[in-house]
Amino acid sequence: MPNYTVVLNEEIARIARREIKNEITPLVKKNLELKKRVSALSKTIAELESKVAKLEKAVGFEEVIEVQLSEEEVNRARVTPRYILNVREKYDLSRNQMAKLLNVNANSIYLWESGRATPRFEAKAKVIQLRDMGKRKVNELLNSLENDTEE
């Protein structure tokens, strides 16, 4: 007499494999489509980044002060209108000169000092770093900027 439990278990396993295959096949196809889409988007991003770099080079866009502070340090710092004015006065900078150093619009400096606006994260970090620089270093940066614009 045959063992019914073995036959029954084999049949259940066979049906379960078929059901699993039916459920997984669409997911595998969707996963493949998503991988292709991610790959295409990655290529597009790389192309756009290279175009931006070329445009920045053509325009002469250059970061004078690179952000070297952690996010926590920048968020902890209190950059008030008076603070920004003090930094500017410490180095005898005009609004235009400070704007060039921070790579922002001169009108932004005015708005920050008047309290009508606050600097964004990157500009805030640059203001903090500018404060910690020496007067010679700031003058060197300004001279290098002016030499670059003359060329």
pLDDT grade for 121, boundaries at 50, 70 and 90: confident
Please give the pLDDT value at position 60: 62
Residue 37's H or E segment, with its range, is: helix 4-59
- Please state, in angstroms and rounded to a whole number, the distance separating the CA atoms of residues 17 and 40: 34
Whether the pLDDT of residue 148 is over 70: the answer is no
- Please state, in angstroms and rounded to a whole number, the distance separating the CA atoms of residues 29 and 124: 47
Please give the pLDDT value at position 89: 93
The answer to whether the Cα torsion of 113, 119, 116, 96 is positive or negative is: positive
Instruction: Please compute the mean of the pLDDT values over residues 2-28 and round it to a whole number.
Output: 92
pLDDT grade for 83, boundaries at 50, 70 and 90: very high
**How much is the pTM?**
0.56
Task: Report the mean per-residue pLDDT for the chain.
Answer: 87
Instruction: Please compute the mean of the pLDDT values over residues 15-21 and round it to a whole number.
Output: 94
Please give the pLDDT value at position 45: 95
Question: What count of other Cβ atoms lies within 10 Å of the Cβ of residue 50?
Answer: 10
